[in-house]
Amino acid sequence: MKIAQVGEEVLRTPARQVEQVEFEQEALFTFMDGLLATMLEANGIGIAAPQVFDPRAIMIIASRPNPRYPDAPDMQPLMMVNPVIKQSSDNQVWEWEGCLSVPGLRGRIERPDWVDVAYLDTEGKVQNIKLEGFVARIFLHEFDHLIGKTWLDHITSTKNIMANDVWVTKFT
């Protein structure tokens, strides 16, 4: 699948909810498999459907050490459909983020250090989970894509933007 790049309208368009009837259609599962394959091929640790030009509220969080995030914790990919933030930490944490849709740049932004989330799993069943630290950041980053935002919308100063090659030299 082609990954949308910053400036493309799909990244500014809020995603639509997946209807329960779609969980009965093979096309949904074929799409989810393709979304995961696209994320893995791009060395991503998360991806949202709008990033591949699909308007549905579907995302994957999949923290794992890789060339872009060598210190990331390891977890199995988690497919989340129609996620909703139920609660988030008042404590905010500054950290650098990159994005498959904003190639070549990193941004230092502030996000809550934990979130409680409700979502539908791949069977269409409601699940609840508390995500903390780096995994919460991944979720919030991908959730932004579902509401028509990117990390660029959180930048408070241009001093918080860095070329990825410079970031790698300084922080890895």
Q: Is 32 annotated as a binding residue?
A: no
Give CA–CA dist 130/126, Å, rounded: 14
Residue 143 lies in a domain: yes
Is 121 annotated to bind a ligand? Reply is no
| From 9, 26, 123, 142, the catalytic residue | 142
pLDDT string in tens for the chain (172-residue length): 999 999 999 999 999 999 999 999 999 999 999 999 999 999 899 999 999 999 999 999 999 887 777 788 999 999 999 999 999 999 999 999 999 999 999 999 999 999 999 999 999 999 999 999 999 999 999 999 999 999 999 999 999 999 988 988 887 6
Residue 154, annotated ligand binder? no
107: domain CATH number is: 3.90.45.10
> Which residues are CB-neighbours of 44 under 8 A, at least 6 positions away?
62, 68, 100
The model's pLDDT over 39-51, given as tens digits with 9 standing for 90+, comes to: 999 989 999 999 9
Beta bridge partners of 56: 16
Q: 13 lies in a domain? A: yes
pTM reported for the whole predicted model: 0.94
User: What pLDDT sits at residue 69?
Assistant: 76
Does residue 2 belong to any structural domain of this protein? no
Provide the pLDDT for residue 71: 81
Cα–Cα distances in angstroms (integers) from residue 134 to residues 20, 56, 172, in the given order: 30, 24, 16
Annotated catalytic, 22?
no
Does the residue 155 lie in any domain? yes
Answer yes or no: is 4 within a domain.
no
1: in domain: no
Range of the domain at 140: 9-171
C-alpha angle 122/126/132, rounded to 5°?
A: 90
Number of compact structural domains in the chain = 1
Confidence (pLDDT) at 65: 84
Does residue 3 form part of some domain? no
Residue 40 lies in a domain: yes
